[in-house]
């Protein structure tokens, strides 16, 4: 995946807000139109989450791996959980952490020795940065700020996503990060967030890079 070279979009494009049901989020544009939905699956032992498009078609499925000391999550294409449809995995980089750090491995990276992306999160600061591989190249970052909007009307999370990165991929990583923070006893940090997206390409292309 190429490094970001252009500035991110100046205007917010997507808003992600929770529904009243546990684990459910709706991704909206600034006009309030649905873009994505993140749904929790009731009666799932693995903390299963499904990312859908605006009309309810499943795009990716996130599922926690059982009995994993490193809080391992597998992410699949559509509503599948078959190994053949695996897109990427995300897991804690180490067992004991003061700040949550995740290593992300694309399905083609079978050695799992060098990650394709890294996520560094701070629950106390309500922020995270997503890097390309083991480099200092930032592909997305989230921080808490107040949006003066009739739609939100409360504290929100600003998410800046750099060129050639799919915002569905970033949403999935933030949802997984939030789930791992909840496991650690920190509670959910996601309220709503605004994503600034520029030159987005498809999730399939991200996962084949």
- In tens digits, what is the pLDDT along the chain, a chain of 209 residues? 444 444 444 333 344 444 334 557 776 665 667 777 888 765 555 678 898 988 999 999 999 887 665 578 999 999 999 999 999 999 987 665 556 789 999 999 988 789 999 999 876 667 889 999 989 999 988 876 555 444 444 445 667 778 778 878 988 898 888 888 776 555 555 544 444 443 344 444 454 44
* Domain-located, residue 71: yes
Contact assessment for residue 107 and residue 99, using Cβ atoms and an 8 Å cutoff: no
* Domain-located, residue 8: no
202: CATH: 2.40.160.200
Q: Is 97 left (phi over 0), alpha (psi -120 to 50) or beta?
A: beta
Which residue from 65, 68, 66 is spatially nearest to 76, judged by alpha carbons?
65
Residue 151 and residue 142: Cα distance in Å, rounded?
Answer: 19
* Domain-located, residue 82: yes
* Domain-located, residue 1: no
Q: How many C-alpha atoms does 75 have within 13 Å on its Cβ side? A: 24
* Domain-located, residue 5: no
pLDDT of residue 31: 64
Range of the structural domain that residue 61 is part of: 14-208
Overall number of domains in the chain: 1
Residue 107 and residue 117: Cα distance in Å, rounded?
Answer: 12
pLDDT of residue 35: 76
* Domain-located, residue 7: no
Which residue from 8, 12, 28, 3 is spatially nearest to 199, judged by alpha carbons?
8
């Amino acid at each position: 995946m190429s490094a970001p070279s252009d500035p991110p979009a100046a205007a917010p494009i997507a808003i992600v807000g929770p529904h009243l049901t546990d684990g459910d989020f709706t991704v909206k544009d600034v006009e309030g139109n649905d873009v994505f939905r993140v749904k929790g699956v009731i009666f799932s032992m693995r903390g299963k989450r499904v990312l859908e498009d605006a009309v309810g078609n499943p795009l990716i499925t996130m599922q926690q791996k059982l009995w994993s000391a490193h809080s391992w999550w597998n992410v699949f294409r559509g509503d599948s959980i078959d190994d053949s449809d695996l897109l990427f995995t995300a897991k804690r980089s180490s067992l004991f952490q003061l700040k949550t750090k995740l290593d992300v491995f694309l399905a083609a990276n079978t050695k799992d020795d060098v990650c394709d992306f890294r996520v560094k999160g701070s629950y106390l600061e309500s922020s995270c940065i997503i890097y390309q591989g083991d480099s200092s190249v930032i592909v997305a970052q989230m921080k808490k700020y107040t949006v003066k909007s009739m739609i939100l009307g409360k504290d929100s999370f600003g998410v800046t996503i750099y060129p050639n990165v799919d915002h569905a991929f970033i949403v999935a990583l933030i949802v997984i990060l939030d789930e791992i923070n909840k496991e650690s006893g920190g509670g959910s940090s996601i309220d709503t967030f605004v994503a600034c997206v520029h030159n987005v390409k498809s999730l399939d292309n991200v996962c084949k890079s």
